[in-house]
Amino acid sequence: MTTVVASPAHDARAPELSVIVPAFNEGAGIAMFLGRLFEVLRACCPEHEVWVIDDGSRDDTWTRLREECIRYPRLDGVRFTRNFGKEAAILAGLRHARGRAVVVMDADGQHPPALLPQLLEPWRAGRARIVAAHKVARTSDGWVARVNALLFNRLMLMLTGLDLSASSDFRLLDRSAVDALLAFPEKVRFFRGMTVWTGFPTERVGFDVAPRIAGDSRWGTGQLIRLAVTGITAYSAKPLGMIFKLGVFGMVAALLLLIQALYSWFTESAVSGWTSLTVVVLFFGSANLLGIGVLGAYLAQLFEEIKARPPFLIRETLRPHD
């Protein structure tokens, strides 16, 4: 089956580049970020548009955006009804962007706009359809954030085969890659993993993660765990296979214990075995719970997909288009 995608790129007025900026409670730094961004864009890519997606901010992000909109005619904004999460904000941006290439970047200044010319170069030269900014240093992150990132990436590599180490959402996608992502029917999305999955020719460009302009990171350990569960259950059935292997291991262990029990019964040796019994009960008890937990995670993922609710709802846009 072929999927026909109505692509905004057929639009002759499509700009060369669309920049998508998810923003949640970024009121304090958004004006400074946009100032930096437009300065770089004017120099390296005059045909551009910028979409800021206000992901249900509870601060003055939207008011600030409206003010900035007067200053920058190529700035546009979408406001969600509530906080739907960064993945939903990226998706909304991809749906609105009309550019022949699209860059996704954070609103907090951690993804330096100065890198844009380097992201554009391999794409303009036709060498890559995806240009991924790759974190060289995480100097601005605390140790908790670094340990979290390390565990998250290891787990993802082990269970899904996607190497996300040092990768970030800061990346340029060619229109063909954007259209491919938009054609995915799934509701639960994991942008970074999905772009790697497409397999389009990719180049990497290194960058140092800058400190935030203002505010704190919105990603706690809990959110990262949720992202990992989504990422794993959406990309891999390995955990289900692991439960099966655990089951086989358990059967073999149980068989060996049976032989031992029969042997001691025949030899009429003392009825010990309390310790081994406890170990077996505890082991299989927890293995059962683990298995049910993993099945539950997949079931939850299926439930989300089957409900097929919209991934976000829009409250208003800055410049309602035609």
Nearest to 22 by CA among 319, 322, 321, 312: 312
Query: Residues touching ligand UDP: how many (CB under 6 A)?
Result: 16
DSSP state of 273: -
From ligand UDP, Mg ion, none, interface partner of 174 (C-beta below 5 to 8 A by class): none
Are the C-beta atoms of 20 and 97 separated by less than 8 Å?
A: yes
Piece of 19-27, 151-159, 197-205, 307-315 that binds ligand UDP (CB under 6 A): 19-27
| Footprint (CB under 6 A) of ligand UDP, residues 195-254 | 217-219
From Mg ion, ligand UDP, none, interface partner of 83 (C-beta below 5 to 8 A by class): ligand UDP
Piece of 101-109, 153-161, 250-258, 311-319 that binds ligand UDP (CB under 6 A): 101-109
Sort strands 17-23 and 48-54 into parallel, antiparallel or unpaired.
parallel
Nearest to 84 by CA among 59, 56, 112, 110: 56
Nearest-angstrom CA–CA distance, 122 and 140: 28
> Cβ of residue 151: shortest distance to ligand UDP, in angstroms?
15
Nearest-angstrom CA–CA distance, 99 and 175: 7
Task: Answer yes or no whether residue 165 interacts with ligand UDP by CB under 6 A.
Answer: no
The residues binding Mg ion (CB under 5 A) are 106, 108, 110
> Cβ of residue 179: shortest distance to Mg ion, in angstroms?
28
Task: Answer yes or no whether residue 26 interacts with ligand UDP by CB under 6 A.
Answer: yes
Using the minimum distance from each CB to Mg ion, give the nearer residue, 87 or 106: 106
| Neighbouring-strand partners of residue 208 | 137
From ligand UDP, Mg ion, none, interface partner of 22 (C-beta below 5 to 8 A by class): ligand UDP
Piece of 20-28, 155-163, 237-245, 251-259 that binds ligand UDP (CB under 6 A): 20-28
Task: Answer yes or no whether residue 160 interacts with ligand UDP by CB under 6 A.
Answer: no
> Cβ of residue 43: shortest distance to ligand UDP, in angstroms?
23
Count CB neighbours of 102 within 10 A.
Answer: 25
Using the minimum distance from each CB to ligand UDP, give the nearer residue, 82 or 309: 82
How far lies 291's CA from each of 45, 161, 233, 241, in Å?
Answer: 52, 21, 14, 10
Q: Could you tell me where the beta strands, DSSP code E, fall in the chain?
A: 17-23, 48-54, 75-80, 101-104, 130-137, 167-174, 202-208, 314-317
> Cβ of residue 108: shortest distance to Mg ion, in angstroms?
4
Q: Is the dihedral of CA 224, 226, 227, 233 positive or negative?
A: positive
> Cβ of residue 212: shortest distance to Mg ion, in angstroms?
6
- Residue 312 is which amino acid? F
> Cβ of residue 242: shortest distance to ligand UDP, in angstroms?
29
Using the minimum distance from each CB to ligand UDP, give the nearer residue, 48 or 79: 79
Nearest-angstrom CA–CA distance, 322 and 315: 17
Are the C-beta atoms of 199 and 158 separated by less than 8 Å?
A: no
From the list 48, 64, 86, 171, which residue makes contact with ligand UDP (rule: CB under 6 A)? 86
Using the minimum distance from each CB to Mg ion, give the nearer residue, 114 or 300: 114
Count CB neighbours of 66 within 10 A.
Answer: 14
> Cβ of residue 83: shortest distance to Mg ion, in angstroms?
16
> Which 3 state secondary structure label does DSSP give 176?
helix
Applying CB under 6 A, which residues contact ligand UDP?
22-24, 26, 55, 83, 85-86, 89, 106-108, 110, 217-219
